[in-house]
Amino acid sequence: MRKVSITSLLSALVGLGAVTLVAFPSQADSLQLQLGKHGPQLKLLEDCDPNYNDCEGNRRDYRRDRRQSRGCTEDRALDKADRMGIRRARIESVGRREITVRGRQDGDRVRVTFGTERGCPILDRE
């Protein structure tokens, strides 16, 4: 009798799991299975806002993000080149200390090298 009840319980669990998987195939990307010290947990990720938290309820520290992004990036160098009047600007090379941008200004070819420090200082202009 005990063997029959265990078998029927296991088959019911397998059947319930199969029905659950068939019922929600379009939402498979919003489910997350986590195996941790508290056992397996199933989480829905549709409430996750990556701009607000890291999808586990922890708030992001925007001050730290701002501090890390103070230096000159490729996008900022292109924006500064555009403000300088350089048209069709494109990145030529990116190094640890400098970003080189090429483009045209007043019909002439121009190459400007920006430093990667805050404010994208102009290091060289040809």
Q: pLDDT for 56-86, tens place per residue?
A: 556 655 555 554 567 899 999 999 999 999 9
Same domain (yes/no): 86, 50: no
State the number of CA atoms in the 13 A half-sphere of 109 facing the CB: 3
Same domain (yes/no): 85, 120: yes
The domain boundary residue, chosen from 60, 92, 107? 60
Highest mean pLDDT, choosing among 24-28, 39-43, 47-51, 109-113:
109-113
Domain count, the chain: 2
Considering only CA atoms, which of 113, 47, 106, 103 is closest in space to residue 77? Answer: 113
Same domain (yes/no): 45, 78: no
Range of the domain at 51: 2-60
The domain boundary residue, chosen from 60, 83, 110? 60
